[in-house]
Amino acid sequence: MHRVVITEGDAAVCEILIEAGLLSDAAGHLPHKEDRRQVAILTQPTVRTRADAVAKAIRGRGVEASVIPLPDGEAAKTLSIVEEVALALNHLGLTRDDTIFGIGGGAATDAAGFIAATYLRGIECVLAPTTLLGAVDASVGGKTGVNVGGKNLVGVFRHAARVLIDIDVLESLPLDLRRQGTAEALKTGFIGDPELVELYRQHGIDAPLDEVVRRAIDVKAGVVSRDFREGGLRAVLNYGHTAGHAVEVAAGVSHGEAVAIGMVAAGVVGERTVGFDRRLEQEQLIAFLGLPTRSPDVDLFDVERLMALDKKRDAGGIRFVVLEDFGVPRVVHPDDATVRDALHAIGID
Ligand SMILES: NC(=O)c1ccc[n+]([C@@H]2O[C@H](COP(=O)([O-])OP(=O)(O)OC[C@H]3O[C@@H](n4cnc5c(N)ncnc54)[C@H](O)[C@@H]3O)[C@@H](O)[C@H]2O)c1
Ligand SMILES: [Zn+2]
């Protein structure tokens, strides 16, 4: 079993366990807690059977367990669902000694994390991500939230006490979901682990998931331990997200695809601003993984407007994370001509 700990100062605030088959024994891997009497499992329709099995195993250990179904995908991330679930938790009599256990993709764990952070002003949260994106990104790092008009507009920073990652569950994902997570995992390689980049170069999309997940989480946990509330360093996790997010909104591509395209754009900005000389190598690897390197046809002015509105802009203008080399990220404020060239490189004129 691989174990990663996220720290705040000297305190361990979140423990991440990674192993094949872990979900089958999730009941045995809840944090030790004498007074726990109940676990409320919040889950998605696609993994309901797994959640039911976990509930049964928890009951087998003499602790009450209930399954509260969430709607699938983004429909779980609304304040009205938060209200419904809070009423259900109150009805069950969940107390501060009890535990919320989110099982599912990033939408389910974002919602479960937010509910655990706010119900009774915060009770213990355990998460078991069942998508690769959830495992390497959403469930790790303590950002929770729901959508209110804008995506993730309402939320809090709060770590899950424990995250249980079952590699067997991730192995069985459909290709599209694997690709989504691969874009974010590759991103962590680019910003913090050249050996992960090498692993993808050798194996393509079939790179061994246990090593991918371990390496990607080591990078993210390291960054978050040094900067939980996005004071500065955490921005490097947004590599590929400045142009990527604008393309996601303008072209309606999935988040993972948008990040892949955004990293290609960031490669150009890096080449111009800090002399990054592996732009083509990076682009070839993205393509080799079956991820897109060009945006669908979108309007240049739309994309520029979206980038200007983005929260990744600050007083110095549009902020881009770039690479000096694989594993060496920097934050720069490129001039307008450089941004245009980068957009041109991803097919936006
Ligand atoms: N909190 C953060 O730091 C953070 C970071 C990145 C993304 N996110 C959030 O994560 C969400 C995206 O994550 P996602 O793609 O996992 O979303 P998701 O939860 O919507 O899952 C995608 C789809 O996969 C299905 N699914 C889940 N597990 C499955 C399995 N084992 N087999 C087959 N299908 C399965 C889900 O039911 C859903 O239909 C977004 O809401 C995003 O905002 C949060
Ligand atoms: Zn992302």
pLDDT per residue over 275-331, tens digit each?
A: 999 999 999 999 999 999 999 999 999 999 999 887 666 777 889 999 999 999 999
Which 3 state secondary structure label does DSSP give 194?
helix
List C-alpha distances in Å: 349 to 5, 258, 296: 45, 17, 11
Task: Provide the residue range defining the domain that includes 50.
Answer: 2-173
Number of structural domains found in the chain: 2
Residues 22 and 70 in one domain: yes
Residues 156 and 70 in one domain: yes
Spatial CA neighbour of 167 closest among 276, 19, 1:
19
The residue to mutate among 14, 110, 164, 241, having the most atoms of ligand 1 within 8 angstroms of its beta carbon, is: 110
Which residues does a 6 A CB cutoff place in the pocket of ligand 1? 44, 46-47, 72-74, 77, 104-108, 110, 130-131, 133-134, 137-138, 141, 143, 152, 169, 173, 177, 180
DSSP string, 326-340: TTEEEEE---HHHHH
273 burial level (CB within 10 Å; 0-12, 13-18, 19+) = middle
Distance CA 119, CA 95 (A): 9
Of the three residues 141, 157, 173, the one that is the final residue of a domain is 173
The residue to mutate among 6, 14, 44, having the most atoms of ligand 1 within 8 angstroms of its beta carbon, is: 44
Of the three residues 113, 138, 173, the one that is the final residue of a domain is 173
| Residue ranges of the chain with per-residue pLDDT less than 50 | none
Residues 198 and 88 in one domain: no
Atom of ligand 1 nearest to the CA of 151: 43
Measuring from atom 8 of ligand 1, which residue has the nearest CA?
138
Q: Is-above-0.85 flag for pTM?
A: yes
Angle (CA) 253-259-262 rounded to 5° is 100
Q: What is the pLDDT of residues 198-221, one digit of tens each?
A: 999 999 999 999 999 999 999 999
Atom of ligand 1 nearest to the CA of 45: 37
CATH code, domain carrying 163: 3.40.50.1970
Residues 137 and 187 in one domain: no
Residues 198 and 146 in one domain: no
Q: What is the pLDDT of residue 311?
A: 62
Q: Name the CA dihedral angle for 112, 117, 123, 125, rounded to a multiple of 10 degrees.
A: 40
**185 alpha carbon, closest ligand:** 2
Residues 158 and 185 in one domain: no
Token duo for residue 197: 């980049």
Measuring from atom 18 of ligand 1, which residue has the nearest CA?
105
Residues 339 and 212 in one domain: yes
Of the three residues 125, 158, 173, the one that is the final residue of a domain is 173
Q: Are 16 and 135 in contact (CB under 8 A)?
A: no
Q: Are 186 and 285 in contact (CB under 8 A)?
A: yes
Measuring from atom 34 of ligand 1, which residue has the nearest CA?
46
Residues 162 and 23 in one domain: yes
Residues 209 and 158 in one domain: no
Residues 153 and 296 in one domain: no
Distance CA 43, CA 72 (A): 9
Residues 9 and 105 in one domain: yes
